[in-house]
Every structure is written in C-alpha cells, then in structure tokens.
Structure 1
Amino acid sequence: MSKGIHEPGKIKWDLTLCNLLAWIIICLCLIKGVSTMGKVQYFFALFPYVLLTVLLVRGVTLEGANEGIKYYLTPKIHKLYVAKVWQDAASQIFFSLSCCTGSLTAMASYNKFEDNVLRDSILIPIINCLTSFYAGFAIFSILGFMANTKGVDIEHVTTEGAGLVFVTYPEALSELPLPQIWSIAFFFMMICLGLGTQFPSVETVITALQDEFLFFRKPSVATIFRILVCAFGFLLGTPMTTYGGYYVLQLLDTFVAIPLLLVGFFEIFAIIWLYGYRRFSEDVLLMFGHSSGTYCLFYWYYSWNWVFMTPVVLLAILTFDIVRYQPIISDAFPLWAEILGWTIVLLIVIWTPLWYIIKAVSLCRSHRNAGTRKTCCEMCREINQPTDKWGPRNSMDRLLERYQRIRSDASSGRSGLFINPPSFKSSTSSAYLPKANFAVRNSIAVSEPLYLYDDDLSQRN
C-alpha cells in the first residue's frame, strides 16, 4: 500500500486482471439483458447459501465455537442508545436491500404487471434479515475457534469492515485442517456475492439509459452498448487496483451512505407527500386486486410508516450524520479528497431537486406565454399532479370506475396527501377490482413519471 490516496502508485496487474475477469463475466451474463441475467442469478444467489451452510457446519464442530456464538447472541442493550448504531443499521439495510439505488425499480419493471408486489415487499426484507442472522453463526463460530486457539477473549479477534472479510476470517480459516479447501470455499462465496450484486447494478444503468434513449434498444446497437457500459465500468474500477486503491475504497465507503439516505428521503417525500400515499396505494392495489387484508395493511400500517415514521427516522439519521460528521482529512486523505467525497454526494442527490426546479420554471414560462396568472400555491399544486399520460397501459383499464375516481381526485387540484380515501369493496363482490396493466418508466423527476408506449416495451409486460 502507498502512504495515501494522493500517492496511487503503479497499477497492480494481478488486481487489474481480476477486475477485468469480473467485468468479462458480468458482460457475458448481461449480454442478452434480463433473459440471461435471470438464469445466472439462480446460481449466484442460491449457491452462496450452500457454501455458507458448509462453513457453518464446519464451524460449529470446532472447539470454542460455542463461545463465539454466545458472544454473537448476547444482546448489548446499551448500544441501542448510541445514535451511531442506528446510523450504521440504516446504511446496512439500504445497501443490503439496494434501496434507492434504482436496482429494485429497474428489475421490477420487467415483472408481470399482476406480480404481487405486496408479498415481495414483505418477504424480501424478512429473507434479507434472516440471511444476515444466519451468516452471523458461520462467522462467529469460526472467530470463537480462533479466539480459543490464541487463548484470548473473542473481543480481541473481532473487527469490522474489510478487515473482517479479508484479514480476520481468512486468518481463522488458516488454523483449520486443510485450510486451502475452506479458504477456496469462503472466497468463492464472496465472489458469487459480489457478482450477484453487480448484475442488477449494471443492468440498472443499462435500463435507465435505454429507457431515456430508445436508440440503444435497437437489436443492432443493444449488444455493443452493453459491452461499452461494462468496459466503462472496468475503467472506473481501475483506480482501486493501484497501490493506493484501498484509500479510494475507503473514500467511497465513507461518503456513499449519505446520498442513499438523502435520495430515500426525496423519494418518500415526492411519492407520499406530493403524489399522495392514498393515490399511490390505489395504484398498487389496482395491479393485483383488493381484499380486506391488503386494504388494512396499506391504509393503516403502510400509511403510518410512509407518512410519518420513515421521513422522521431518515431526517433524524441525516441530522446525526451532519452534526457528528468528522472530516477524513489526514496524512492519507488531503483536503482535495474531502472535497471529492462531497462532490460525489452532490452529484448523486442534486438531480431530483434540480429537475423539480426545472419543471417548475418551465410551467411558469408556459403560463406566462399563455397569458394566464396563477398564485404560488396554485402553481405548486399543479406541478405536483400526475400528467394525463400517467395510468394503466391498457386503455380499457383506464375506464374502470375506481381508476376514473382516482383521476378525478387528481384533477380536482387537491394535495396528493389529502385526497379522499377509497371506498372499500370486498373481493367477493361482483365489483371486485380486475387486474390492470401499468407500464411506467422510472424518472428522475418523480412528480412526473414517464409513460412507456407499446413499441418501447421489448421485454416488459
């Protein structure tokens, strides 16, 4: 390693070749879009569970494993009063679920319209948390064995961050009989997890660009475009293959959590407070039908979380980040590295408010050119309303009585948060809501989602 980020040094060709190999695998798996990615994801998503189980079974049979598991399961209640713990927990959830990165939106756009998103939104976080809990047993059983071998308390062998994955845990595996086998299994699992994370991230970039520039969807261009995106990703990763690459990784790791939380707050504010949580709930329920259970879940549990709990928690965490922030300026990180980090944050979060301002200015100019005058409140109310193109893709579904009532609420000029709640219809009645067919593409300006026409949908339903 070099002395700091200001001394990157030469490129380490072994790391560069590994980076190149990873991007070649990503390119080959994404060359045909989600049709190929979906197949390889079965392996990269499920096989790590097999390797994790193998490591767990081996770990719990080692001497001292019980002490490691006991340390893992012993609660430290006083830590709940530490704000930093909640900040780290929020960052972990955002990263593990890929919240506010665009991956969930991009991948969900390829689902069938009648896909039960309510079921998915409940099962995925539960499976994610259970997986993390399950992985903890495999980690701490091995760490307990390592502490027992060295004759020290387990606190002295535990660490966090990259040190746990690339230093402490491999060192513990080296103490096992046949360490080569266990090390290969562990690092192959890490490779699978890393590639499995990269697939949706890269596909998100490709999907966003293809949605915005339909030229990239042409069959003669799509393959070349995907190769160029992967080549650009390889070039972006090259600085981290130098002797100072670890400092670049630390810089990114320090600053990427803040924009995710800010983007999350912007999303919840735009969708729930501007577009309206009742209107948004109706859109979701319109896709897979109405029942008493989903009605209660949306209009009691989800509404409480969307309108109050989530914005308050995000604001509290963001406030703590700002108040307790410590600059990273040191011998390894000069002032320009700090400025670079905040520039990255700005480039990530600026687009939502910027496009909102641009749309507001455009609306003001259109009214001024038309000779109409409106108050500030009327202008804000108008810009927060969905466009006429927003709605079910199938024109017949636009004639549904329930959807027409939603549109009338939207055109009435009321604030999105306070439109009238829907009248409940039982799923057993003759007026049971049929399944509609939305096709909406993600937009930076959330207040005006863009409508996808039939010829834009080569792979989506």
Structure 2
Amino acid sequence: MKGPGLVFVVYPEVFSTMPLPQLWAPLFFLMLLCLGLDSQFAMVEVAVTSIMDGCGPKVLRVLKRQEIIVLAVCVIGFLLGIPHITKGGMYVFQLMDHYTAVVSLMFLAFFEVLAVCWVFGLRRMTIMVKRMLGKAPNIYFCSCWMFFSPVLVLCILISSIVQYTPARYGKSYTYPVWAEVVGWGISLVSIIWIPLGALQEICRNKGTLMQRIKTAMSPTIELDPVNHLPEKQRVDIPESVDFISPP
C-alpha cells in the first residue's frame, strides 16, 4: 500500500500492536503535524516571495503590509484545501497526489538545476557559496551540481513518463477520463510557466532569434571573485574588515 493509506491506515494498525500504543500513536501524528507545518512554511514563503518579486509595489498599494499578503496566501490555501476533507476528499487528494508528486516535481527540479548550474554558471554559484560559508564547495558538490544531479533527475523524469499508469484509488476504483484530464491540467499548472516564461524573455529581447535566445540565457550580473560583489558594485574592502564571518 502507498499514499495516504500507508500513513493513516497501515501505520496506525502497526502502532496499535506495539507496547504502549497510547504513546507511539500521538508521537507519530505529532511528527506528521510538524512535518506538514514545516512544508507549509516553505510553500507560503515561496508564494509570498514570488508575489513580492513579480508585482510587490502594486500589491502593497492595495494590501498595505506584507503580513496581509501572507495572510491572504494562507486563506486561499485553506479554501483550496477544503475539498480534500469532504466526503469524497480522499479521491481528490489521490488524484492530485498522483499527478503532482512525481512528473511535475521532477520537471521543475530538472530545469531548476539547469538554470542554476548551467545558465547562471558554476563559477558564480561557487562565489556565492564562498560568500555565505567562507569557503568554496569541494569538487564533489561541484560535480553533483554540474553532472550527476541533472542526469539523475532526468532519468527519474523519463522513467516516470515511461512507467505512467492512470490514477487509481485502492484496487477497484479507476478514475474516469474527465478526472484524468483534470489531473493533467493540475500538473500543467506548475509546468507551463517554464516555457511561457522562456518565450516571454525571448520575445522581449532584440535581434535575431539566436541573439534573443543567447541574451535570454545570459546572467544579468557578473560577480567579482575577490569582493564577492557584482562588478558594477565593486568596492575596496579593507583587509581588517571581515566581510563575511564563517559560521
């Protein structure tokens, strides 16, 4: 068994057979609560940061404070989660879990690795890590960022597509065709912005098609390896001043 049944059916039955089930069962669900809250913190922060980076001044004219934006994101997330706790909520949850947990996640991870390590560049990445930690990453991490991580994520993505099976709940219920369409639509909601963003960036640049693509894939800053600052903002830092203190 996998999915929600593993967490809410199998594990509770296992804990009921252990010594002191009144202790282990609350600890298990407390762990799930902490795990869920930790994930929510990250997702809310990503949503708020995206809103502030994309249209922060316009939104702040209406909502006035960033805390209200956080509250609005949490309220919208709460409303979107209500269908999952209805009588048929498990079917909705299973459908969304099937179409968003693997293919779209690996698709986003693959292009994220490409953007950070191949477009932004390993040299710039190394300078920024050295700026934060006080030392440059070793060859193992550099090799993982440049080669092993993209290849591994790409293999998982291809394997997920090749081994795709329609969503099912339990052993008997098969989702209808319209539910499959809805599931793929939910998956595309997070994927479609990558090609749309790339197309927008290419269209707003000038020159031939190849020049536009080259400009779109060029980083907007060039870090100075000495002062760890953008070259246009390069300053002379006295040797007696610790610019970055290692942790």
Q: TM-score range by the shorter chain?
A: 0.7 to 0.9
For the Cα contact (< 8 Å) 2:124–2:223, is it kept in 1?
Answer: no
Q: Does residue 274 of the first structure (1) align with residue 112 of the second (2)?
A: no
What are the Cα deviations for residues 138-185 of structure 1, in whole angstroms up to 9, with x where unaligned?
Answer: xxxxxxxxxxxxxxxxxxxxx443223212222233335664444333
Q: 2:68 aligns with which of 224, 247, 254?
A: 224
- The CA deviation at 1:314 is 1.6
Letter in 2 for 1:233: G
**Is 1:302 matched up with 2:110?**
no
**Alignment match of 2:110 (pick from 243, 253, 265):** 265
1:357-407: CA deviation from partner (whole Å, max 9, x where unpaired): 11111113xx4xxxxxx5x44433322222259889978993259xxxxxx
How far has the Cα of 1:232 moved from its partner? 1.2
Q: Do the aligned partners of 2:95 and 2:183 also contact (CA within 8 Å) in 1? A: yes
Partner residue, 1:399: 234
SS of equivalent residue, structure 1 residue 359: helix
Trace 1:393-432 onto structure 2 (pairs within 5 A): 398-399=233-234
Is contact 2:221-2:230 (8 Å) kept? no
Change (3 A) 1:390 1:237: farther
- Answer whether contact 2:127 2:223 (CA < 8 A) is retained: no
2:153 to 314, 322, 326: 314
Secondary structure of residue in 2 paired with 1:386: coil
**TM-score (norm. length: structure 1):** 0.45
Output the amino acid matched with 1:173. Answer: F
Contact 1:252 1:341 in 2 (8 A): yes
Please say which of residues 274-283 and 344-353 is displaced more in the overlay: 274-283
Distance 2:163 2:240 in 1: 52
Quick one: which of 204, 213, 220 aligns to 1:380?
213
Deviation at 1:274, TM superposition (A): 2.0
Specify whether residues 260 and 213 from structure 1 end up closer, same or farther in structure 2 by C-alpha distance, changes over 3 A only. Answer: same
C-alpha displacement of 1:239: 0.8
Tell me how far apart the structure 1 counterparts of residues 164 and 25 of structure 2 sit (CA, whole Å). 37
The residue type equivalent to 1:399 in the other structure is R
1:183 counterpart = 2:25: yes
Q: Give distance in 1, aligned partners of 2:222 and 2:144.
A: 29
Q: Structure 1 186/304 Cα, relative in aligned 2: closer, same or farther at 3 Å? A: closer
Cα distance between partner residues in 2 of 1:396 and 1:274 = 18
Whether the 8 Å CA contact 1:170–1:183 is kept in 2: the answer is yes
Structure 1 residue 171 corresponds to structure 2 residue 4: no
Alignment match of 1:254 (pick from 98, 105, 125): 98
Q: How far apart, CA to CA, are the structure 2 residues paired with 1:432 and 1:276?
A: 31
For 2:115, the aligned partner's letter is: A
Task: State the Cα distance separating 1:220 from its structure 2 match.
Answer: 4.4
1:289, 1:435 within 8 Å by CA — same for their partners in 2? no
Tell me the residue number matched to 1:435.
Answer: 243
| TM-score, normalisation: structure 2 | 0.78
Q: Does 1:238 find its partner at 2:82?
A: yes
Over the aligned positions, Cα root-mean-square deviation in angstroms equals 3.4
Is structure 2 residue 186 aligned with structure 1 residue 344? yes
**Aligned residue pair count:** 235
Cα separation, 2, equivalents of 1:346 and 1:231? 23
Deviation digits for residues 84-134 of structure 1 (CA, Å, limit 9, x no counterpart): xxxxxxxxxxxxxxxxxxxxxxxxxxxxxxxxxxxxxxxxxxxxxxxxxxx
Greater RCO, CA 8 A, separation 6+: 1
| Whole-angstrom distance in 2 between the partners of 1:377 and 1:396 | 26
Q: Which runs of 5+ in 1 are unaligned?
A: 1-158, 368-373, 402-429, 437-461
Report the residue type matching 1:398 in the other structure.
Q
One-letter amino acid of the counterpart of residue 218, structure 2: Q
User: For the structure 1 residues 211 and 383, does the alpha-carbon distance in structure 2 shift closer, same or farther, using more than 3 Å as the test?
Assistant: closer
CA distance in 1, matches of 2:141, 2:89: 43
Contact 1:271–1:280 (8 Å) recurs in 2: yes
Counterparts of 1:271 and 1:284, CA distance in 2: 13
Does structure 1 conserve the Cα–Cα contact (< 8 Å) formed by 2:222 and 2:230? Answer: no
Partner of 2:205, secondary structure, is helix
Whether the 8 Å contact between 2:202 and 2:216 is mirrored in structure 1 is yes
* Compared CA separation, residues 358 and 253, structure 1 to 2 (3 A): same
Q: Structure 1 residues 265, 170: CA separation in 2 closer, same or farther (over 3 Å shift)?
A: same
Percent of counterpart pairs with the same letter? 36
Counterpart residue type for residue 358 of structure 1: Q
Structure 2: unaligned runs, 5 residues or longer: none
Structure 2 residue aligned with 1:101: none
Q: Distance in 1 between matches of 2:232 and 2:89?
A: 53
Measure how far apart 1:264 and its partner are.
Answer: 1.0
TM-superposition CA deviations, 1:49-83 (whole Å, max 9, x none): xxxxxxxxxxxxxxxxxxxxxxxxxxxxxxxxxxx
